Amino acid sequence: MTYPVVMLGAGEVAVAAVVASLRQAVNREAGVANRKAGTQDVMTTELVGLYGEIAFARWANLYPDLRVHLRAGSADAVWRGCRVDVKGTRAVGGHLWVDERSVRKGDADVYVLTHVNYATVTLMGWCYAHDIPRLGVALPIRKVYRVPPDTLRPMQDVPVNITPET
């Protein structure tokens, strides 16, 4: 399978570093917990996520949401009428990790998994939020779903008339 790859430019990398730092500071000051899944530091988590968001926005021909505000439980983009939450991982073959509260509350309609290798971002696939419990493995101790990348739909298969209910 061929995955779309987005190479971030130096300007995008620089903007991502500034925005990630500001978002991290605002969210921690407000007491919003970072729900990172790995052992990496919080800034790395913020930066990997923002690289994924910027890459998805470029691929989808959207302007990335670079606002600095409380983002707990919010989607990263609105695309074709759907709220999209972009998740990033540095792990080769990494899974899509989704907090079960986000699924239950309906924070997003669609989830996209990106693999981030420095400024090279690969869009691994997507799925509807309502498919997460079926596709993923529930990890009750961490209260997350872990969705294997091979169960995601290819980015090329996004329907033109995608809707949140589909």
pLDDT at 164 (0 to 100): 63
Q: d(Cα 74, Cα 156) in Å, to the nearest integer?
A: 25
Kindly report the pTM of this predicted structure: 0.89
Q: What is the third-level CATH fold of 5-156?
A: ECO RV Endonuclease; Chain A (3.40.600)
Domain residues of the chain, as ranges? 5-156
Q: d(Cα 97, Cα 64) in Å, to the nearest integer?
A: 22
Average pLDDT value over all residues in the chain:
87
Which residue from 73, 85, 64, 65 is spatially nearest to 132, judged by alpha carbons? 85
pLDDT at 75 (0 to 100): 87
Res. 137: pLDDT tops 80: yes
Q: d(Cα 60, Cα 159) in Å, to the nearest integer?
A: 13
Largest CA distance in the chain: 42
- Could you read off the pLDDT of 87-129 as tens digits, one per residue? 999 998 999 999 888 888 888 999 999 999 999 999 999 999 9
